[in-house]
Amino acid sequence: MKNDPTFWLLARASGLTAYGLLTASVLAGLVLKSRPFGRALKPGSVTDMHRFLALLGLGMLGLHGVTLVLDRTVHMPLSGLFVPGASPYRTAAVAAGVVGAELMTLIYLSFLLRPWIGGRNWRRLHWATYLVFLLATVHGFASGTDSTQPWARDLYLGAVGAVAFATAWRALGRPTRPAPAIERST
């Protein structure tokens, strides 16, 4: 079979799925911090879901890379998956994806390294998740062959809108500490 599209289709589907899982993981992390549903969701369950979505996203990211190397349409060298700028295909957009993928991997590994790096450094590193999301969005939108399709554009815009809304909710909706009660004398 000269023009078997299997790997090309898998590459596209796994890339879009990885982006969806990244978006869901970011949203789960924001839900964990902002608690928009009050006490209805247990923090431990949301944390587990957040980590699981991130792990699934990394798995899809791995499948995305492997299928791009195996596909004959793009001619992606193995180095193009790990070295920013080594891809002959849409070099800058793919480089954004490579940097985002490496940073996403580091952030996921930070869950395991938290006892050694400390909670403060772990939280600082976690702020880079916004950069990962930005890089993944740029990568998908600028290098994805489906990006010109209305459904793909809407997917990216919807993801950005959801993360922006959840971020604003977290930033603006933080509960304030109640003022100390003042005793009245009558």
**77 or 184: which carries more pLDDT confidence?**
77
Question: The whole model's pTM is what?
Answer: 0.84
pLDDT for 1? 44
Average pLDDT, the chain: 85
Question: Confidence class of residue 111 from pLDDT cuts 50, 70 and 90?
Answer: confident
User: Among 56, 141, 27, which residue's Cα sits nearest to residue 94?
Assistant: 141
Query: Is it the case that residue 186 has pLDDT exceeding 50?
Result: no
Question: Confidence class of residue 177 from pLDDT cuts 50, 70 and 90?
Answer: very low
The predicted-structure confidence for 31-56, as pLDDT tens digits, reads as follows 877 665 556 667 777 788 888 999 99
Residues near 46 by Cβ (< 8 Å), separated by ≥ 6? 28, 31, 32
pLDDT for 132? 95
Could you give the CA distance from residue 123 to residue 107 in angstroms, rounded to a whole number? 10
Long-range Cβ contacts of 110-119 (<8 Å, 24+ apart):
111/51
pLDDT for 29? 87
pLDDT for 179? 45
Question: Confidence class of residue 5 from pLDDT cuts 50, 70 and 90?
Answer: confident
Helix (H, G, I), strand (E, B) or coil at 176: coil
Is 21 exposed, middle or buried, given 0-12, 13-18 or 19+ CB atoms closer than 10 A? buried
Could you give the CA distance from residue 21 to residue 26 in angstroms, rounded to a whole number? 9
